[in-house]
Chain A
Amino acid sequence: MDYSRVINQRIANVPPSGIRKFFDIVRQMPEAISLGVGEPDFITPWQIRDAAIQSIEDGQTQYTSNWGLESLREKIAAYLRMRYRVSYSPKDEVLVTVGASEGIDISLRALIDPGDEVLIPEPSYVSYAPCVTFSGGVAVPVKTNAQEEFAITPEALRAAITDKTKALILPYPNNPTGGVMNKEQLREIADLLMDTDIVVISDEIYSELVYSGHEHTSFAALPGMRERTVTINGFSKAFAMTGWRVGYLCAPRELLAPMFKIHQYTMLCASIQGQIAADRALGRAFETGFEDVRMMVRSYDRRRRLMVEKLNAMGLTCFEPRGAFYVFPSIESTGLTSEEFCTRLLKEKQVACVPGTAFGESGEGHIRCSYATSLENLAEALKRIEEFVRSLNG
């Protein structure tokens, strides 16, 4: 059978994830220290795990409503109102999804007609552009850079908008750069979009992980923006719940309805155990004033400062990230490309980082290092990176 004739050409033409290509090498090196992992190094707090165990023992093994458990949706709505001052009705404006990833997928599928353009800041998370392509749309990168704190500027955005622009993905706090956009910067974007029909898909999965006094602003909270915004978030990063696959999608009911339709026909619902655990996560956070989250944030923040200081000291100029758990230093001073740098660092010093180019062309000259790993690992990895950089100069 000639598989190339049966497989959808649009899918076939999407290259495999740039991160993955590189990390197939890592798997064969047990001694390597990985700064490539994009998930918390904390385990889901026990009380949350226990709620799921209890639910299995109680025989809660059925489908939930397509929307998700009512008590969970109510908590999500309360959380967004309290934390970010955005108001959604838990009845039909909050949809529990299988991770934030499903939210990205179904919001794009519900919006895109063939040939529609979707603007994506670059560098950004590897999945946005492929998801746009899968939906028949055209991904249009909007380049950002360290000088402008990896924020999108109104000028760059204006230049990228055409009459085919359907949506803008707003992924802040940003993976891989750690860039955030403050309220003023977001307002400028809002002003520009005010008289258009462009929808904003605001992926706020790292919203809890912000540092240096930055306060996360939810795009839908800006005056006039709620009607055009799809807010995506989830439990993976804030509650160390990556493997549970629970996220949520919030939007005005008219905008959420077609997304719900896809979810209803394809996914039915997120796993009930994941939803029960998520419900406990938010319940516990309300009771304890988000103490677990704060503890994690303090810990990430300390490692972040350590990384930035040490990378700068060894000549890898480092933009100070103010969100997520990545640093995105420039490696231009070494004269190597991102891919050369990462390949040689891995082979010569057994430290794995992700080449900036995995996140789009404009990531060239950078590497992504995750600091979601133990202090001990970080110290050792930084020592080896320094030795490597010194060996290049010597």
Chain B
Amino acid sequence: MFSTLDMHILEILCEDARVSPREIAVMTGSDENQVNTALEGLRRAGVLVGYQALINWERTEKEFVQAVIEVNVQPQREKGFDAIAQRIMQHDEVKSLYLMSGAYDLMVLCEAATLKELASFVHSRLSVLEGVTGTSTHFMLKTYKYGGVLFESGHADRRQAVMP
């Protein structure tokens, strides 16, 4: 069962995944053992699947390209979209994969070191998969917001230092 403590833990980790179990215990008025047990339960249930940093790569030297690829597929009998999705997600270039409603079926978020590599992935490995009936590739130009965090100009505290 999903408890109030579970919900607190997820809200805290969403804000800052570095907060320690000891601190979570203080913040929620529980003891550290309870928090550790809850964390373990969330991991086992597949709710808590990783802890990643949010990085604005555009501020680094790293060169790479990102694209959103809309993929139309022929769903398979009994397996629906899952079988083809399973095969697409195996590729290292694929960072995220979603089943969509609307004009296309799967949305693939891809990353590669160069434009050429990404193009090659789409042409020679993705679009040729059996069941894929069409792709449409959109390159990402700039990240404004990611994971609920503003990447550009979102940091300033606009509040007055003191009032009144």
Residues of A within 8 A of B (CB): 17, 19-20, 22-23, 26-27, 34, 36-39, 41, 101, 126-127, 242, 295, 298-299, 302-303, 305-306, 309-310, 352, 354, 374-376
Q: Is the CB of A302 within 8 A of B27?
A: yes
Q: Which residue of A lies closest to B23 (CB)?
A: A306
Q: A302-B27, A305-B27, A375-B15 are in contact. Are A26 and B159 (CB under 8 A)?
A: no
Q: Which residues in chain B, 1-52, are within 8 Å of chain A measured between CB atoms?
A: 8, 11-12, 15-16, 19, 23, 26-29
Q: Is the CB of B23 within 8 A of A26?
A: no
The answer to whether B54 has its CB under 8 Å from any CB of chain A is no
The answer to whether B161 has its CB under 8 Å from any CB of chain A is yes
Q: Which residue of B lies closest to A19 (CB)?
A: B162
Q: A298-B8, A375-B16 are in contact. Are A37 and B159 (CB under 8 A)?
A: yes
Return chain A residues, CB-CB under 8 Å to B141. Answer: none
Return chain A residues, CB-CB under 8 Å to B159. Answer: 37, 39, 41
Q: Which residue of B lies closest to A20 (CB)?
A: B162
Q: Is the CB of A36 within 8 A of B27?
A: no
| Cβ-defined partner of B26 (8 Å) among A19, A36, A306 | A306
> How far is B163's CA from A363's CA once the two chains are assembled, in angstroms?
18
B15 to chain A, nearest CB (A): 6
| Cβ-defined partner of A305 (8 Å) among B15, B16, B26, B163 | B26
The answer to whether B160 has its CB under 8 Å from any CB of chain A is yes
Q: Which residue of A lies closest to B24 (CB)?
A: A302
> How far is B163's CA from A19's CA once the two chains are assembled, in angstroms?
8
Return chain A residues, CB-CB under 8 Å to B23. Answer: 306
Q: Is the CB of B19 within 8 A of A375?
A: yes
Known interface pairs A36-B161, A302-B27, A375-B12; 9 further A-B residue pairs with C-beta atoms within 8 A, sorted by A's residue number: A20-B164, A23-B162, A26-B162, A38-B162, A101-B164, A295-B11, A309-B26, A310-B26, A352-B161
Return chain A residues, CB-CB under 8 Å to B27. Answer: 302-303, 305-306
Question: Can you name 11 A-B pairs with beta carbons within 8 Å?
Answer: A17-B162, A26-B161, A36-B161, A37-B157, A37-B159, A126-B164, A127-B164, A298-B11, A305-B27, A306-B27, A309-B26
Query: 6 tightest CB-CB pairs across the interface, nearest first?
Result: A302-B27, A23-B162, A309-B26, A23-B161, A19-B162, A37-B159
> How far is B8's CA from A377's CA once the two chains are assembled, in angstroms?
19
Q: Which residue of B lies closest to A40 (CB)?
A: B159
Q: Which residue of B lies closest to A303 (CB)?
A: B27
Q: Is the CB of B26 within 8 A of A37?
A: no
In terms of DSSP, what is the predominant structure of the interface of chain B?
A: loop
A171 to chain B, nearest CB (A): 15
Return chain A residues, CB-CB under 8 Å to B161. Answer: 23, 26-27, 34, 36-37, 352
A260 to chain B, nearest CB (A): 24
Q: Is the CB of A305 within 8 A of B162?
A: no
A129 to chain B, nearest CB (A): 12
> How far is B8's CA from A34's CA once the two chains are assembled, in angstroms?
26
> How far is B19's CA from A26's CA once the two chains are assembled, in angstroms?
28
> How far is B159's CA from A376's CA once the two chains are assembled, in angstroms?
17
> How far is B95's CA from A225's CA once the two chains are assembled, in angstroms?
63
> How far is B155's CA from A330's CA once the two chains are assembled, in angstroms?
32
> How far is B11's CA from A359's CA once the two chains are assembled, in angstroms?
34
> How far is B27's CA from A303's CA once the two chains are assembled, in angstroms?
6
A62 to chain B, nearest CB (A): 29
Q: Is the CB of A299 within 8 A of B11?
A: yes
Q: Is the CB of A37 within 8 A of B16?
A: no
Q: Which residues in chain B, 119-141, are within 8 Å of chain A measured between CB atoms?
A: none
Return chain B residues, CB-CB under 8 Å to A41. Answer: 157, 159
Return chain B residues, CB-CB under 8 Å to A299. Answer: 11, 15
Q: Is the CB of B12 within 8 A of A302?
A: yes
A16 to chain B, nearest CB (A): 10
Q: Is the CB of A302 within 8 A of B8?
A: yes
Q: Is the CB of B164 within 8 A of A17?
A: yes
A34 to chain B, nearest CB (A): 6
> How far is B15's CA from A19's CA once the two chains are assembled, in angstroms?
30
B20 to chain A, nearest CB (A): 10
B14 to chain A, nearest CB (A): 11
> How far is B99's CA from A48's CA once the two chains are assembled, in angstroms?
31
Return chain A residues, CB-CB under 8 Å to B164. Answer: 17, 19-20, 101, 126-127
B26 to chain A, nearest CB (A): 5
Return chain B residues, CB-CB under 8 Å to A127. Answer: 164
Q: Which residue of B lies closest to A38 (CB)?
A: B163
> How far is B12's CA from A101's CA once the two chains are assembled, in angstroms?
34
> How far is B12's CA from A303's CA once the two chains are assembled, in angstroms?
10
> Can you list, as one digit per residue, whether each of B146-163 has a CB less than 8 Å from chain A (1) or not (0)?
000000000001011111
> How far is B164's CA from A36's CA once the two chains are assembled, in angstroms?
12
Return chain A residues, CB-CB under 8 Å to B19. Answer: 375
A255 to chain B, nearest CB (A): 26
> How far is B19's CA from A291's CA once the two chains are assembled, in angstroms?
24
> How far is B161's CA from A20's CA once the two chains are assembled, in angstroms?
9
Q: Is the CB of B29 within 8 A of A305?
A: yes
